[in-house]
């Protein structure tokens, strides 16, 4: 399947036509081309964030880009941030840390079984990433995804789960963003899951704040 930008209406039906449900709306770009874009919009920028998909699957490119920004006299003032699911191994983070200002990491479930049911993998790699980044002062934000009826961040009394609270406290002061599950772009069994509402996210925010954690922020639109 080939994407034709001039004819695209952003209906995303091409994704349904792909056996792997992947978007064909991709293009290649070099580090030099990204630097040219940054210089074009430079006066409007204070930093950049590399996101995805999962940005760390393109680790050599990310390292090369951040290194080039650091070395460019006219761009070195820009902060270099990364949006990640936390799946990168420690060896990868160690390569990235010297040119990274901070990372925003998702935690989609607390108990290993819940995390596995939501993501298909266990939680240990994510927890290790959070610990490592926090220890280097480069955990810019921790994001908790609330999925109604499936998330396990709260206990039966509506309080923050004890083990999670202890883990977060050990990370030190870290901004926490709460995100609610949305059906946009979702396929398979998750299309029948209910979306998270404001009341649920507000209760979770209160439980996090009650433990002295945060600052806590909610999505702009719920």
Reported as a single tens digit per residue, the pLDDT across 151-176 is: 999 999 999 999 999 999 999 999 99
Degrees, nearest 5: CA angle 7-29-42:
100
Q: Provide the pLDDT for residue 14.
A: 85
What percent of the chain lies above the pLDDT cut of 70? 99
| Predicted local distance difference test score (pLDDT) of residue 19 | 80
How far apart are alpha carbons 29 and 112 in whole angstroms?
37
pTM check: above 0.85: yes
Which residues does 174 contact at the CB level (< 8 Å), separation at least 6?
A: 134, 139, 141, 142, 168, 213
For the chain, which residues score pLDDT lower than 70? 221-222
Q: Where are the domains of the chain?
A: 29-84, 105-221
Q: Does the domain made of 105-221 have the CATH classification 3.20.20.70?
A: yes
pLDDT at residue 222 in the model: 59
The tokens describing 40, both together, are 């074009």
Helix, strand, or coil here: 42? Answer: helix
- The tokens for 57 are 């699957």
User: What is the residue-averaged pLDDT of the chain?
Assistant: 93
Contact 83, 55 (CB under 8 A): yes
């Amino acid at each position: 399947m080939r994407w034709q930008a001039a004819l695209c209406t952003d209906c995303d039906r091409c994704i349904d036509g792909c056996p792997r449900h992947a978007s064909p709306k991709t293009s290649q770009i070099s580090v030099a081309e990204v630097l040219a874009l940054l210089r074009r919009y430079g006066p409007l920028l204070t930093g950049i964030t590399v996101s995805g998909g999962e940005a760390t699957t393109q680790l050599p490119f990310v390292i090369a880009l951040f290194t080039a920004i650091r070395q460019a006299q006219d761009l070195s003032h820009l902060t270099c941030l990364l949006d990640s699911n936390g799946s990168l191994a420690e060896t990868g983070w160690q390569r990235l840390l010297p040119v990274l200002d901070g990372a925003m990491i998702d935690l989609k479930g607390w108990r290993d079984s819940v995390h596995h049911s939501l993501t298909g993998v266990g939680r240990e790699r994510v927890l290790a990433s959070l610990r490592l980044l926090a220890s280097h002062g480069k955990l810019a934000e921790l994001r908790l995804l609330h999925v109604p009826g499936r998330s396990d961040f709260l206990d039966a009394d509506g309080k923050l789960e004890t083990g999670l609270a202890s883990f977060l406290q050990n990370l030190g002061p870290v901004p926490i963003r709460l995100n609610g599950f949305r059906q946009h772009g979702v396929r398979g069994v998750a299309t029948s899951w209910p979306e998270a509402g404001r009341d649920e996210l507000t209760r979770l925010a209160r439980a996090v704040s009650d433990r002295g954690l945060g600052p806590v922020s909610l999505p702009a639109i719920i």
